[in-house]
Amino acid sequence: MRLIGEGLAAVRGGRRIFAGVDFAVEAGAALVVRGPNGAGKSTLLRVIAGLIRPEAGRVRLEGGGGDLGHEAHLVGHADALKPALTAVENARFWAGFLGGGDAGGALEQLGLGGLEDIPAGYLSAGQKRRLGLSRLVMARRSLWLLDEPTTSLDADGRADLADLMEAHLGRGGIIVAATHGALGLAHAAELNLEERRA
């Protein structure tokens, strides 16, 4: 499997954000996207996911089992939780939406065991982030698109996320992560969008 971006350009709000973006990420590898605020990191992830049509260029996934949209998990800035629902109710919603998965097991794996019946609105910011990330383990997808995934996570949370990412790569998955900080991935390639600003 291989994720390829060729000559990508994107426009948001009537202005071109980046142009001439090329990358290729092999199975079992990660690409870390860097750049200052406004450089287009989140936009690039949305282009890869198929949520934004690029102004130019194309993205394709070679050797995957389905189209890009079905092969990808996009975890954005927002944790996509309903505050009035409990942690496990939120997880069960995502499991159903994504086509199955063990909601309780995912919460346990993300360090939320014992908090299943707490409304998401009462969880700390780090616990909400872990709950949002639980989607990654509930339904297997070959491509993870992660936007600032370590936001609100403490040192233990960042270490747990690094372990999850390394396990995903070990199974032949691909990760594209937009971040300002360290992710704990030993051999990730980097793409600096500041160099591609239009």
Residue numbers of the chain with a pLDDT score lower than 50: none
In this prediction the pTM is 0.91
Q: How many CA atoms lie within 13 A of 3 on its CB side?
A: 25
Residue 166: HSE in the Cβ half-sphere, 13 Å Cα cutoff: 11
| Distance in angstroms (rounded) separating the CA atoms of residues 153 and 137 | 17
List pLDDT tens digits, range 151-163: 899 999 999 999 9
By DSSP bridging, strand 56-62 and strand 2-12 are antiparallel
pLDDT value of residue 65: 63
Contact between 50 and 110 (Cβ < 8 Å):
no
Superfamily grouping for domain 2-196: P-loop containing nucleotide triphosphate hydrolases (3.40.50.300)
* Domains in the chain: boundaries: 2-196
Q: What is the pLDDT of residue 187?
A: 84
3-class SS shares of the chain: helix, strand, coil, % to 5: 35, 30, 35
63-89 tens-digit pLDDT: 866 677 778 889 988 888 999 999 999
Distance CA 40, CA 196 (A): 9
